[in-house]
Amino acid sequence: MTEEQDLAGRVIVVTGASRGIGYFTAIEAANRGAHVIAIARTVGGLEDLDDEIQAAGGSATLVPMDLMDGDAIDRMGRAIFERWGKLDALIGNAGMLGSITPVSHLDPKEVDKVFKLNVTANFRLIRSLEPLLKQSDAGRVLFVSSSSAYSCKPYWGLYAATKAALNAMAKSYAGEHANTPLNINVVNPGPTRTQMRAKAVPGENPDTLPHPREIAPKFVDLITPSYTENGQFIDLKNNGETSPL
């Protein structure tokens, strides 16, 4: 099977699919033959995504949804079961930066909100979608993390803590499936030309950063049946170097 169709017949969920990395990863997966279930809150962005996927001959199902609504995630899981009976991959891309500020200055409500999206929502996705992923011959889960989980730079405490928690959860989850066809990995895209990056580093020249469409193929490579690593942190900033979570 060629790379161009290495996801033919496979069903893939992509969160945060209305813009940035999620948007272009969804397009790349569809171009390789996958049916993409695209999740985001922004309806307009999802409609643009659908137009682009259809124009290239691909197919997608749009799910306008707030991932902080756990019951909505459960309803989506049931709908996937009723239509396809399986899921081949989950790309947990949706995330929130939160304030770059001293830890003591963080607002408790913001802390709860960022943890709920960056960590709890991914747990709810695991909980709802694992039975479907087990029905795949090569189920794949890929969470989008950050080097902040390890660097824990001053003022980045909230974002760093959520990504460290996500990595820890993914490590445990990967270990639970060490002897199954389901593989779980984490990827660090590195600095990328996204709205989140612009908010985090406002003085940076975005033209010096790779565009999300440039790294999307690397993301999709990590959820193909031929990629069999499990429990790895894949650092695209360092040429795809892998290390155990």
The catalytic site residues sit at 159
* Distance of alpha carbon 153 from alpha carbon 24, whole angstroms: 29
Contact indicator for 234, 186 with CB cutoff of 8 Å: yes
62: CB partners within 8 A, 6+ apart: 38, 43, 46, 47, 49, 50
* Sheet of 89-92, strands arranged across: 59-64, 35-40, 11-15, 89-92, 140-144, 183-188, 232-235, 241-244
* Distance of alpha carbon 59 from alpha carbon 84, whole angstroms: 14
